[in-house]
């Protein structure tokens, strides 16, 4: 018998105010790009978490008033009674699955631009908006503060009407009015809401007490508080005012949900915070100061770490946003001693990028995330196979592995052929680069799964030609042969190759991932991909090459990583490591000792010393095998599908999704598949 008692402490019920949570697993509030815009998709996604065993399932931030209008982003909204039914969808589903539903009420102060409502922007003091937009927030007068308290109270009442069990007051992420009142940097008031810490925290105390008065008979009141801004003496520090706030308000909320601020620190990626549990040193004091339950986060993936945190008296609840996204069934897998089956979060923040782009959530590890309602996908269930018996998957990168595992789960006999000597493709190759080690988990999870199944046979060192495939005689073939990086500089900025007199000076990202190193002498990295890889390569190579110049047509390094909350860290890291950065330039020519770049605005040329050029621009799809098979009418193949990067180069998340989709849709009527995509939440034409 497996020893499940080791984890039994995680399944103890815990009291929160008037309620009891069934265990210690707490899905803290997290954004998902669904919010008030896609309430059915939202409810279905939260429902899966409840089904997966979380004791508490929370919303994302919920705007309480039109002066906290986060449009065009899709957060929750509880401006008035008309917003109640959409939220009721979630609470009913969460309750049906035995969990408590929590709602994170928010007023975003100067973080809200009010682009839709054009309402006044409110802050403790006069100030600019937190985002680059030419408007300013105005200092709230006493009447404004009274109004704000009334809005919050009304929202708490509506939250209760919508069926929520836990109602939040939220002071975190540098995005909320209550936190802005707390921080001297934002608050230079001279009345009873400014000056001393007691004054700056007055509004929070009032909101907590008023929320209690309004809904405390049946709901618990949670306080989400960022104890440390990770700015040293320039911001709130856990050991200074962070601690004093907890001391002052210790028994006022029914639950402390503590983290670090801002969002980039709270949701740090593994690239810069490789250790799971990285927030513990900041929050571990909290429980000593309060008798109320404490929940904390920090990519808590490991059940052993969870047990240790509870036993050491650091937390009562294991908080999770990303681990609950990567594996909504994490609690259930621990409870039933299926630890090895947990799909661990890799800390890549592609989930975050959906919210920052204003589209429904997606996840690298969990391709079903965000598709629970639209496509009816479940992270643990898949329909059994139909008439066909066998399938061949060619290529064992993220797309091929996911496709093979899901096909096997459906009951097909799967043959997986991989040209290389390892499984995992780019997930393993990129994980060799500095900062990306955790990305291996994408391969590891799937390799473990396929090893448990008798109906998958994986063959390494098996490069398949069209003749090999035909000879094998399997009539359903999924081709996941990936893509390779271009050498010629063609990309977003230039559709023509750069001039090259010495191809031997050029290396590609694939060369580096395969273990080759640049020549001695100056290295020029040319990034027109503008995502993450060129920055990773610069960090990877900086230890080996002292003279690196990073050239990009973009105006900052790795602009896509703004969406994953990493851009500032990447740029800082490259500067600190001595990488020279040239923005706003494109590459036009390379010789054996120099390269020519030009300003993208003026065409003014510059010449850089260059012993090795590493262009990171675009990938070429490896689709030859697919095309050959497609052209061979006598191959005997009934189903032939190109998936992953070979079909459309993208993120690892896209490759996994593509593999999953192909496996799910195999032997499904194409019309039914098309219907999934067009399942939409249509705006009502009723005047409300």
User: Helices 533-541 and 567-576: crossing angle, nearest 10°?
Assistant: 30
Dist CA 663 CA 314 (whole Å): 43
31 is catalytic: yes
Encoded tokens for 150: 């009334």
Say which entry of ligand SF4, ligand ADP, none residue 365 contacts (CB below 5 to 8 A, set by partner kind): ligand SF4
Active site residue 173: yes
Question: Which stretches of 220-349 are DSSP H helices?
Answer: 243-249, 263-266, 280-283, 286-289, 303-311, 322-326, 330-335
Rounded CA-CA distance 207/80 in Å is: 18
Q: What is d(CA 276, CA 273) in angstroms, rounded to the nearest whole number?
A: 8
Q: Name the residue with tokens 């036993």.
A: 311
Nearest-approach distance from CB 399 to ligand SF4, in angstroms: 16
Residues near ligand SF4 (CB under 6 A), total: 13
Chain positions 194 to 223 lying near ligand ADP, rule: CB under 6 A, are none
Quote the least distance from Cβ 365 to ligand ADP, whole Å: 14
We find the least distance from the C-beta atom of residue 70 to ligand SF4, in angstroms, to be 20
Host H or E run for residue 238: none
400 binds ligand ADP (CB under 6 A): yes
Q: Does the annotation mark 266 as catalytic?
A: yes
Q: How far is CA 658 from CA 227, 450, 669, in A?
A: 40, 18, 17
Q: Is the CB of 400 or the CB of 522 nearer to ligand ADP?
A: 400
Token pair of 294 as six digits? 């404490």
Using the minimum distance from each CB to ligand ADP, give the nearer residue, 249 or 655.
655
Closer Cβ to ligand ADP, 128 or 484, answer by number:
484
In the residue annotation, 351 being an active-site residue is answered as no
Site for ligand SF4 in 321-360 (CB under 6 A): 322, 325-326, 345-351
CA distances from 288 to 247, 283, 315, 608 (A): 10, 10, 10, 58
The Cα–Cα gap between 327 and 333 comes to 9
Catalytic residue among 73, 168, 170, 282: 170
Is residue 622 within the footprint of ligand ADP (CB under 6 A)? Answer: yes
Q: CB of 634 within 8 A of CB of 644?
A: no
Of residues 28 and 464, the one with the C-beta less far from ligand ADP: 464
Toward ligand SF4, which CB reaches closer, 35 or 109?
35
If one asks whether residue 566 binds ligand ADP (CB under 6 A), the answer comes out as: no
Q: Which is nearer to ligand ADP, 8 or 514 (CB)?
A: 514
The catalytically annotated residue of 42, 107, 173, 585 is 173
- Find, among 465, 472, 328, 479, the residue nearest to 404 by Cα: 479
Phi, psi of 451 (to 5 degrees): -65, -25
When the beta carbons of 210 and 566 are compared against ligand SF4, the nearer one is 566
**Residue tagged active-site, from 31, 32, 363, 610:** 31
> Which of the stretches 126-134, 323-331, 336-344, 397-405 binds ligand ADP when contact is defined by CB under 6 A?
397-405
Instruction: Please identify which residue in 235, 277, 347, 397 interacts with ligand ADP, judged by CB under 6 A.
Output: 397
SS (H, E, C) 328-376: CCHHHHHHCCCHHHCCCCCCCCHHHHHHHHCCCCCCCCCCCCCCCCCCC
**Distances, alpha carbon 162 to alpha carbons 85, 94, 155, 157, 159, in Å:** 7, 12, 10, 9, 5
Question: Among 215, 625, 637, 653, which residue interacts with ligand ADP (rule: CB under 6 A)?
Answer: 625
User: How far, CA to CA in Å, does 99 sit from each of 103, 135, 164?
Assistant: 13, 42, 11
Torsion, Cα of 231, 233, 239, 245 (10° steps): -90
Contact string (CB under 6 A) for ligand ADP, positions 447-466, x = contact? ---------------xxx--
Binding segment for ligand ADP (CB under 6 A), chosen from 65-73, 164-172, 415-423, 608-616, is 415-423
Q: Are 356 and 267 in contact (CB under 8 A)?
A: no
Which string of x and - marks every residue 616-655 that binds ligand SF4 (by CB under 6 A)?
Answer: ----------------------------------------
From the list 69, 266, 355, 444, the catalytic residue is: 266
Between 326 and 404, CB nearer to ligand SF4: 326
Site for ligand ADP (CB under 6 A): how many residues?
Answer: 25
Burial (0-12, 13-18, 19+ Cβ within 10 Å), 335: middle
Binding site for ligand ADP (CB under 6 A): 394-400, 417-420, 425-426, 462-464, 480-482, 622, 625, 644-646, 655
Active site residues: 31, 170, 173, 266
Binding site for ligand SF4 (CB under 6 A): 322, 325-326, 345-351, 363-365
């Amino acid at each position: 018998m497996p020893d499940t008692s080791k984890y039994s402490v995680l399944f103890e019920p815990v009291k929160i105010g008037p309620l009891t949570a069934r265990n210690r697993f707490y899905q803290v509030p997290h954004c998902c790009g669904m919010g008030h815009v896609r309430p059915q998709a939202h409810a279905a996604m939260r429902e899966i978490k409840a089904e997966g065993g979380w004791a508490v399932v929370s919303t994302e931030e919920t705007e309480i008033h039109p002066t906290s209008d986060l449009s065009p982003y899709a957060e929750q909204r509880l401006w008035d009674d008309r917003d109640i039914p959409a939220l009721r969808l979630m609470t009913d589903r969460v309750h049906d699955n035995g969990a408590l539903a929590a709602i994170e009420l928010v007023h975003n102060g100067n973080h809200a631009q009010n682009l839709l409502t054009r309402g006044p922007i409110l802050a403790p003091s006069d100030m600019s908006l937190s985002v680059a937009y030419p408007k300013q927030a105005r200092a709230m007068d006493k009447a404004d503060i009274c109004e704000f308290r009334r809005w919050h109270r009304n929202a708490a009442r509506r939250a209760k009407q919508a069926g929520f069990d836990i109602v939040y007051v939220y002071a975190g992420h540098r995005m909320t009015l209550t936190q802005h009142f707390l921080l001297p940097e934002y608050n230079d008031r001279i009345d009873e809401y400014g000056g001393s810490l007691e004054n700056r925290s007055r509004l929070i105390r009032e909101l907590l007490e008023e929320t209690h008065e309004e809904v405390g008979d049946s709901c618990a009141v949670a306080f989400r508080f960022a104890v440390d801004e990770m700015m040293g003496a320039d911001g709130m520090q856990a050991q200074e005012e962070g601690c004093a706030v907890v001391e002052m308000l210790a028994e006022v909320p029914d639950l402390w949900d503590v983290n670090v601020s801002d969002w980039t620190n709270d949701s740090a990626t593994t690239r810069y915070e490789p250790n799971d549990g990285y927030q513990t040193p900041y929050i571990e004091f909290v429980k000593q100061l309060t008798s109320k339950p404490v929940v904390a986060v920090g990519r808590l993936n490991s059940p052993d770490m969870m047990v240790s945190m509870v036993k050491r008296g650091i937390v009562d609840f294991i908080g999770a946003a990303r681990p609950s996204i990567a594996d909504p069934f994490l609690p259930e897998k621990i409870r039933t001693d299926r630890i090895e089956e947990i799909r661990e979060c890799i800390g890549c923040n592609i989930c975050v990028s959906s919210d920052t782009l204003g589209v429904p959530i997606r996840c690298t590890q969990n391709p079903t995330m965000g598709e629970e309602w639209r496509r009816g996908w479940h992270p643990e269930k898949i329909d059994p196979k139909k008439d066909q018996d066998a399938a061949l998957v060619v290529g064992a990168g993220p797309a091929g592995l996911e496709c093979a595992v899901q096909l096997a789960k459906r009951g097909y006999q799967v043959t997986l052929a991989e040209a290389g000597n390892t499984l995992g493709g780019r997930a393993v190759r990129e994980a060799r680069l500095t900062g990306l080690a955790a990305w291996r988990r994408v391969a590891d999870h799937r390799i473990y799964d396929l090893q448990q199944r008798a109906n998958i046979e994986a063959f390494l060192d098996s490069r398949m030609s069209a003749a090999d495939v035909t000879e094998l005689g399997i009539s359903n073939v999924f081709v996941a042969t990936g893509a390779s990086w271009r050498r010629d500089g063609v990309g977003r900025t230039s559709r023509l190759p750069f001039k090259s007199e010495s191809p031997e000076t050029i290396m590609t990202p694939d060369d580096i991932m395969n273990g080759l190193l640049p020549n001695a002498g100056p290295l020029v990295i040319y990034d027109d991909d503008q995502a993450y890889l060129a920055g990773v390569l610069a960090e990877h190579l900086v230890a080996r090459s002292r003279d690196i110049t990073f050239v990009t047509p973009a105006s900052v390094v790795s602009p896509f990583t703004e969406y994953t909350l990493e851009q500032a860290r990447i740029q800082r890291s490259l500067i600190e490591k001595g990488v020279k950065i040239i923005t706003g330039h494109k590459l036009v020519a390379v010789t054996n000792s120099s390269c020519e770049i030009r300003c993208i605005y003026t065409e003014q040329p510059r010449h850089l010393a260059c012993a090795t050029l590493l262009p990171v621009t675009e990938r070429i799809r490896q689709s030859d095998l697919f095309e050959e098979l497609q052209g061979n009418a006598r191959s005997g193949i009934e189903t032939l599908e190109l998936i992953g990067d070979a079909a459309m180069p993208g993120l690892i998340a896209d490759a996994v999704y593509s593999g999953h989709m192909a496996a799910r849709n195999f032997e499904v009527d194409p019309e039914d598949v098309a219907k999934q995509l067009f399942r939409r939440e249509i705006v009502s034409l009723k005047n409300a």
